[in-house]
A and B are shown apart, each in its own frame.
Chain A
């Protein structure tokens, strides 16, 4: 699994923040796996000269996203697998604690009252609505904490 080529090859890529990739791709080659001071792991990326062409763009080991080939083969979708070296990952998946729900601002064109013209609302997409209608779980912590 590789990151969609961005940077100078594709400045319009959604991951671009200014003129840098927000996911910091392409990553430099690494002789061995190291843990940096900010507890991110720099995985082993061998410079073996292999290149592939994806969507007309050339990619090498710098663009590979950590993954498990067996899981991708079985589930046929994007599955990203990383090892964790700090507690930050848990805080990341509960970031909605700090961020609040998905929100939207709607604008109603014809209304005369300027206050009523805008409405701050909670945004629920079709998929999320159905997930809740079917009563599927939104999260799980196992084993239970007493």
Chain B
């Protein structure tokens, strides 16, 4: 973990500071989750479903940011996944924008 932190700080120095700090939290009421539940089940009964949907959403968010450039052209990113005590995953993402799009 120390190594990752130092890598992130090296990226930060090389790209002259980070620009955006994005936090995305899983939503147990996503239709993608609720449609697949059996009658009477709740999202907390199916952590496998919540995890897979969250992973897909995160992959799409990274594609939107890095390939489609919805926030401007990006040059680097650093992210980690964390879990709340009760289980819902969330992602902290730091985005480094191209010098032409810096804030």
> Which residues does A use to contact B, with CB under 8 Å?
68, 70-71, 74-84, 87, 89-94, 96-97, 102, 123, 125-131, 134, 136-145
B55 within 8 A of A: yes
A20 to B85, CA, bound (A): 23
Additional pairs, 8, CB under 8 Å, beyond known A76-B31, A82-B22, A125-B47:
A82-B20, A90-B78, A94-B1, A94-B80, A96-B82, A128-B83, A136-B51, A145-B7
Contacts of B55 in A (CB 8 A): 131, 134, 136
Assess the B4–A79 pair: CB atoms within 8 A: no
Give the 5 A-B CB pairs with smallest separation, nearest first: A77-B27, A94-B5, A126-B47, A125-B87, A145-B7
Assess the A83–B103 pair: CB atoms within 8 A: yes
Contacts of B89 in A (CB 8 A): 127-128, 131
Question: Quick one: which of B52-70 are within 8 Å of A by CB?
Answer: 52, 55, 57, 60-61, 64, 70
Chain B: interface residue count, which band?
35 or more
Question: Binary interface profile of B, 1-41, with partner A (CB < 8 Å = 1, else 0)?
Answer: 11011011111100001111111111100110000000000
Assess the B51–A140 pair: CB atoms within 8 A: no
| Majority secondary structure of chain A interface residues (helix, strand, loop or mixed) | mixed
Assess the B30–A81 pair: CB atoms within 8 A: no
Q: Whole-angstrom distance from the CB of A29 to the nearest CB of chain B? A: 22
Q: A97-B5, A127-B47, A131-B51 are in contact. Are A89 and B18 (CB under 8 A)?
A: yes
Q: Whole-angstrom distance from the CB of A93 to the nearest CB of chain B? A: 4
A87 to B18, CA, bound (A): 8
The residue from A74, A92, A102 contacting B92, defined by CB atoms under 8 A apart: A92
Question: Binary interface profile of B, 77-101, with partner A (CB < 8 Å = 1, else 0)?
Answer: 1111111111111001010000000
The residue from A70, A80, A90 contacting B5, defined by CB atoms under 8 A apart: A90
Assess the A145–B12 pair: CB atoms within 8 A: no
Assess the A79–B81 pair: CB atoms within 8 A: no
Assess the A84–B76 pair: CB atoms within 8 A: no
Q: A102-B85, A125-B85 are in contact. Are A142 and B24 (CB under 8 A)?
A: no
What are 24 sample pairs from A and B whose C-beta atoms fall under 8 A apart? Answer: A75-B61, A78-B23, A80-B22, A84-B20, A87-B12, A87-B18, A89-B18, A90-B12, A93-B92, A93-B94, A94-B1, A94-B4, A102-B83, A126-B47, A127-B88, A127-B89, A131-B55, A136-B81, A138-B80, A138-B81, A141-B8, A142-B76, A142-B77, A143-B11
